[in-house]
Amino acid sequence: MIPLKPLVLAMGCLAFGTHAFAAPKRPNIVVLVADDWGYSDVGAFGSEIATPNIDTLAREGVRFSDFHVTASCSPTRSMLLTGVDNHRNGVGNMPETMPDEHLGKPGYSGVLNDNAITVASLLRDAGYHTYITGKWHLGKTPDTLPDNRGFDRSFIQADSGSDNWEERPYAPLYDKAAWFENGQPAHLPKDYYSSTFIVDKALEYIAADRQGGKPFFAYLGFQANHVPVQAPREMIDKYRGRYDQGWSALREARRDRAVALGLIPPGAGMQTMASTADWNALDEHEKRYEARRMEVYAGMAETMDQQIGRFIAHLKATGEYDNTVFVFLSDNGSEPTDPYTIPAVRLWLEMNYTRQLERLGSKGAFTSIGPSWASAAASPLGGYKFFAGEGGLRTPLIVAGVPGIQANQISRAFTHVTDIVPTLLEVAGVPAHKGEYQGRAVEPLIGSSLVPVLQGSAERVHPEDQPIGYELSGSAALFKGDYKLVKSLKPVGNEQWHLYNIVTDPGEVIDLQQQMPERFQRMQADYAEYARVNGVLPMPVGYDYMHQGQMYALKHVVIPKLKAAAPPIVAMIGLLVGVWVWRRRRQKAATP
C-alpha cells in the first residue's frame, strides 16, 4: 500500500509556555484534461500505451470506473468548470455542430453564459491564483475568454482544436488558429508542440506567482489526442509493430486487462461495433498503414504523459507536490471520425496536409484513428464520441492528493462531470454557492462532492433514486441508480430507447426494456422531465453532426473568403448549396 499523501501542516513555535499551530495550508489544485481519450487509453485502465505518470496518480489516488461526461468537448468542459448542466450554462451544443434552428435559443449560445459561475471565479475569490493553458473552446469574444471567467493568467486555444506542430487550423471550420493570452490574440513559438507548450506555460505562470504564498488552481487542457493525431517520431516508433494484429485483437486484449484490474465485472458482454472493419480483409499495405495510425496515436498519448511527468517533477522540486490535489479525465470518448471521408473536408485536407505513410504524425501530416481503432480505444464499451453509448460518455477519472484519500482504490460509484466542482470546492475549503453570487441569482450547482467516496466513508455519490439526464445533438440518456436509459442517432444507434444495467453490463449488450417495463416507462418519464426543466430542444429532421459541421465551415470560412474575392461566384455557390441542402433534407425525411 502506498502511504497516504498528508495534508501539509505548518507548525508554530513554542511561545510563552504554549504551542501555537498555524491553520492547515490550503492545497493546490491541478485539473488535467485529455482530449478524446477512450475509456481504456490509460495504462491504469487497461491500455498497452505507456502512461507511467498518470498511472502513478492512479496508485496514489482513486480510479472511478463509472465516470460520465458528455459525448463532445465543449459541453463537457462547460460542466467541468461550472457544475451546471450544459443546457443551462449556454453550451447546449458545440457551435460547430449546432443546427441553425437552435442557435441563440435559451441554453444554446454555444458559449458559457453569465449565469454559470466557474470554479476559477470561486477559487480566485477565495484567494487562489488561477491559471488555464491549452484548450478552452467556450467562447472567443472578449467577454467569453478565460480572463473574464475567473482566470488570472491564460494561454488558450479558443476553438475545438488546432495543429499540434504549427499555428494553423486543423480543418476548414476556422480561417486561423485562435490562440489568446490573457484575453489578447497571441502567437505560438517556432518550436511549438502542443503538450510541451501547454505544460511550459502552466509552469511559467506558477513560477511567476510563487513568492506570493497563495495556493494555485491550474487547468491544463491538452490537445492530445484530438485530430490531427501528431507526435514526435521517436515516440511513435516505440510502438512499431505493436498494433499489427488489428483493432479487434486490441479491443479484446484491453477488455481482458480491464477485467483483471477490477474495472469491469468478469463475464461482462462486449459488442462488435457495426462500423468496425474486418482486419483480415485488408491487404498488407492497408494493414501497415492502419497500424501506423494507431502507433501515432499511442505516441501522442505517451508524449502527453511525459509532459505531465515533467509538470509533476517541477512540483516535487519546489516542494508543492505533497500539497496538490490532482484530477485527471478525458472530455469524451474516442474520436471515430475520419475527416478524409467527409468530401468538403477531404478537399481542404488534400490542399493543406499530406497523409503519406512515412510522414504520419510529423509536421505537415494529418491522420486520425477512424471508427475501428476508436472502438478499440473505448474497449470494452460500445459507441464512441458524439453518441450516447458508454464508449462516448464513460471516460477515465483519477483523483489523487485529497487529504485522507484511500489510495490505490477503484470506486465503482456512478460519477458525473458536474461532481468535480463541488469536490474541488470542498478540498479547498470554499463554500459552494447556493444559486447566488455577488448579490445576484445564478445557476446552482447540481453535482455532489466525491470527497466521502475518496476518503472511504461512502460507497455512492448519488442516491439510487436520483435521475441524471443527458442530451447532446439528439442522442440522449437518463441514469438512475445502476440503470441507464439511452438512445443514439444513426448510424451508431436506431434512435429508439433502450435500457441497460451498466454496472453488470457496461458494454450495453442486454436490453432490459421487456424484462423491466415499469422501470423503462418511469425512466422515460424522468427523461421527459429532465428535458422540460433544462430546455432541451428537439433536433431537426435529418440532423447529422458531420453535415452540420460542413455547413458551419461553408458559412463561417468558405463563403466569406469567396465573397471577398468574387461575389457573383458566391451567389452561384450559395444557390447550389441551398439546392443540395433542400434535396438532402427531403431525402432524409422520406427515409423510414
* Residues assigned a catalytic role: 73, 137
Length of the chain: 592
What's the CA gap between 320 and 217, in Å, rounded?
12
| Burial per residue of 416-434, b for 16 or more beta-carbon CB atoms within 10 angstroms, e otherwise | bbbbbbbbbbbbbebebbe
CA-to-CA dists, residue 234 to 49, 157, 229, 230, 472, angstroms: 14, 26, 15, 12, 38
Q: Is the peptide bond between 380 and the residue preceding it cis, with omega within 30 degrees of 0?
A: yes
Mention every residue, 6+ apart, whose C-beta is less than 8 A from residue 427: 27, 29, 325, 402, 403, 451
What's the CA gap between 153 and 206, in Å, rounded?
10
DSSP 8-state assignment for residue 407: T
- To 5 degrees, how large is the angle CA 179–CA 387–CA 120? 40
- To 5 degrees, how large is the angle CA 266–CA 268–CA 269? 145
Q: Is 131 helix (H, G, I), strand (E, B) or coil?
A: strand
CA-to-CA dists, residue 16 to 13, 19, 20, 34, 88, angstroms: 10, 8, 10, 53, 56
DSSP 8-state assignment for residue 399: E
- Which cell numbers in the block locate residue 331? 472530455
**Is residue 330 within 8 Å of residue 339, measured between CB atoms?**
no
What's the CA gap between 271 and 508, in Å, rounded?
8
The pairing of beta strand 179-181 with beta strand 184-185: antiparallel
Cell 491549452 maps to which residue?
Answer: 134
Amino acid in the structure at residue 113: N
What's the CA gap between 324 and 320, in Å, rounded?
6
- Taking the CB of residue 239, how many other CB atoms lie within 10 A of it? 22
Q: Please state at what angle helix 52-60 crosses helix 284-317, rounded to 10 degrees.
A: 50
| Spacing of C-alpha 233 from chain mean position | 26
